Amino acid sequence: MTETLSSLVNHQVRLAARPVGLPTAADWQFTQEPVAVPEAGGVLVKVGALSLDPAMRGWMNEGKSYIPPVGIGEVMRAGGVGVVIASGHPGFAVGDAVGGYPGVQEYWSIAAGQLARSGLAKIDLGLGRATQWLNVLGMPGMTAYFGLMDVGQPKAGETVVVSGAAGAVGQTVGQLARIKGCRVVGIAGGAAKCEWVVRELGFDACIDYKVGSVKDGLKQLCPEGVDLYFDNVGGDILDDVLARIRRRARIVICGAISQYNNTTAVQGPKNYLSLLVNRARMEGMVVFDYTERYPQAVAELAGYLGDGRMKSREDLVEGGVAAFPDTLNKLFTGANFGKLVLQIAP
Ligand X SMILES: NC(=O)c1ccc[n+]([C@@H]2O[C@H](COP(=O)([O-])OP(=O)(O)OC[C@H]3O[C@@H](n4cnc5c(N)ncnc54)[C@H](OP(=O)(O)O)[C@@H]3O)[C@@H](O)[C@H]2O)c1
Residues near ligand X (CB under 6 A): 53-55, 140, 143, 164, 166-170, 188-190, 193, 232-233, 254-258, 285-287, 331-332, 334, 336, 339-340
Interstrand relation of 245-253 and 226-231 (parallel, antiparallel or unpaired) = parallel
185 contacts 160 by C-beta, under 8 angstroms: yes
Q: Fill in the amino acid letter for 319.
A: G
Cβ closest to ligand X, residue 178 vs residue 339:
339
Interstrand relation of 339-343 and 183-188 (parallel, antiparallel or unpaired) = unpaired
Cβ closest to ligand X, residue 54 vs residue 152:
54
Least separation in angstroms between CB 290 and ligand X: 9
Cβ closest to ligand X, residue 35 vs residue 233:
233
Least separation in angstroms between CB 332 and ligand X: 5
How far is the first Cα of the chain from the last one, in angstroms, to the nearest whole number? Answer: 22
Q: Which residue is nearest to ligand X (CB)?
A: 167
Cβ closest to ligand X, residue 86 vs residue 253:
253
Helices (H), the chain: 2-6, 55-59, 115-118, 139-146, 168-179, 191-199, 214-221, 235-242, 273-277, 294-306, 324-333
Cβ closest to ligand X, residue 47 vs residue 134:
134
Cβ closest to ligand X, residue 120 vs residue 257:
257
Least separation in angstroms between CB 17 and ligand X: 22
For helices 294-306 and 139-146, angle between their N-to-C axes, nearest 10 degrees: 100
Least separation in angstroms between CB 235 and ligand X: 6
Q: Is 223 exposed, middle or buried (0-12, 13-18, 19+ CB in 10 A)?
A: exposed
Least separation in angstroms between CB 166 and ligand X: 6
Q: Is 126 helix (H, G, I), strand (E, B) or coil?
A: coil
DSSP per-residue letters across 166-224: TSHHHHHHHHHHHHTT-EEEEEESSHHHHHHHHHTT--SEEEETTTS-HHHHHHHH-TT
User: How many distinct helices (H) and strands (E) make up the chain?
Assistant: 11, 15
Least separation in angstroms between CB 125 and ligand X: 22
Least separation in angstroms between CB 326 and ligand X: 15
Cβ closest to ligand X, residue 99 vs residue 189:
189
Least separation in angstroms between CB 13 and ligand X: 19
Least separation in angstroms between CB 208 and ligand X: 9
Q: Is 322 helix (H, G, I), strand (E, B) or coil?
A: helix
Cβ closest to ligand X, residue 94 vs residue 191:
191
DSSP per-residue letters across 28-56: EEEEEEE-----TT-EEEEEEEEE--THH
**Angle at alpha carbon of residue 210, lines to 242 and 257, rounded to 5°:** 60
Cβ closest to ligand X, residue 42 vs residue 255:
255
